[in-house]
Amino acid sequence: MTEPVLKVSDLSVSFRSGGRTVHAVDDISYEVRPGEVLAVVGESGCGKSVTSMATMGLLPPTATVTGSVRLGGRELVGASEKELARVRGNDLAMIFQEPMTSLNPVLTVGRQIGEVLRRHQGLSRKQAAERAVELLDLVGIPAPRRRVGEYPHQLSGGMRQRVMIAIAVACDPSVLIADEPTTALDVTVQAGILDVLRSLRERLGTAIVLITHDLGVVADIADRVLVMYAGRVVEHGEVHELYAQPRHPYTNGLLGAVLKPGAEGKRRLPEIPGLVPSLEAQPDACTFAPRCPRATERCTAERPQLDRAACWHPHEVEAR
């Protein structure tokens, strides 16, 4: 097995504001290998985006980050801004949900792609322009020679997201973090973007960390899945196994509640009662216990460690 290219260990992130401390991410670990797609799933507020921002070193100074993020042997937690600037966009790249807010509206897309190449790879203006056309072609934008001179507003949402991907992979990063890359897009467009990500991992061997709430997207593209709840990892595993036999009651509830297009009779959808807990406490207990149908006294008294699932009473794996 190849060595992981990104290894995150015991990462915790907390924010202090107005005398309160919010523990957004609580002691999580994961790793990705070259050409692998790791999906980080969870609902709003579970800490999945904060995890990716912490990995990129993009959190504001109000955040306290502890633990370790190693990218190809280099430690990123605590690295200087200068070191980080060298890594970001070069070896570690990121794309966001809304491409329009990350693209500069007054520069052509070619110029924006070229900027990365000139900065990190020292290409000349002309070389960068040439490479920008190749990159647009790589992400499946038709007529790249014409598109390279266009401005973001001239492109559709799907095309803008492809441009963002082109910028992200311009320097051939070993890891691409994609935070809800298809959430703002229509399903027919989404399918195309997922195809682009798939081809990147196949052609360039890029490791992809996909942050999403969409269990359909995960089923489509991920190799492994990390399920987060209230800042903690509650379950992780290989995608087929995790969907077929979820062990944590939260994963089980989530997979039960998700709608299945083409298979939705008039059924009653299973709900997960209750609300997500506040992130101010860091209880020495299972954070899902108050909503869990399987919870016992132990769940409120002792924090379960992550095996495949962080749970004292996981669903049993059925004998095959």
Q: Which stretch binds another protein (CB under 8 A): 52-60, 76-84, 95-103, 155-163?
A: 155-163
Nearest distance in Å: CB 208, another protein: 16
Contact by Cβ (8 Å): 128, 119 = no
Q: Specify the residue, 116 or 254, whose C-beta has the smaller distance to another protein.
A: 254
Contact between 253 and another protein per CB under 8 A: yes
**2 burial class (0-12, 13-18, 19+ CB within 10 angstroms)?**
exposed
Contact between 173 and another protein per CB under 8 A: no
Number of residues that bind another protein (CB under 8 A): 47
- Helix (H, G, I), strand (E, B), or coil: what is residue 29? strand
Contact between 218 and another protein per CB under 8 A: yes
Sign of the CA dihedral running 192, 198, 202, 203:
positive
Element (H, E) at 238: strand 232-238
Chosen residue from 67, 192, 205, 277 binding another protein by CB under 8 A: 192
Q: Specify the residue, 174 or 251, whose C-beta has the smaller distance to another protein.
A: 251
Angle at alpha carbon of residue 302, lines to 228 and 51, rounded to 5°? 25
Q: Specify the residue, 151 or 243, whose C-beta has the smaller distance to another protein.
A: 243
Chosen residue from 76, 217, 234, 299 binding another protein by CB under 8 A: 217
d(C-alpha 165, C-alpha 188), whole Å: 18
Q: Which stretch binds another protein (CB under 8 A): 52-60, 92-100, 214-222, 304-312?
A: 214-222
Draw the binding track, 32-61, toward another protein (x: CB under 8 A; -: no contact).
-----------xx-----------------
Draw the binding track, 258-287, toward another protein (x: CB under 8 A; -: no contact).
xxxxxxx-xxxxxxx--x------------
d(C-alpha 3, C-alpha 114), whole Å: 31
Contact between 318 and another protein per CB under 8 A: no
Contact by Cβ (8 Å): 109, 136 = yes
Nearest distance in Å: CB 171, another protein: 27
The residue with tokens 């699932």 is 309
Long-range contacts of 274-279 (CB under 8 A, 24+ apart): 276/43, 276/45, 276/46, 276/229, 276/230, 277/230, 279/22, 279/23, 279/24, 279/45, 279/47, 279/230, 279/231
Which parts of this chain interact with another protein (CB under 8 A)? 43-44, 142, 156-159, 186-192, 195, 213-220, 222, 239-240, 243-244, 253-255, 257-264, 266-272, 275
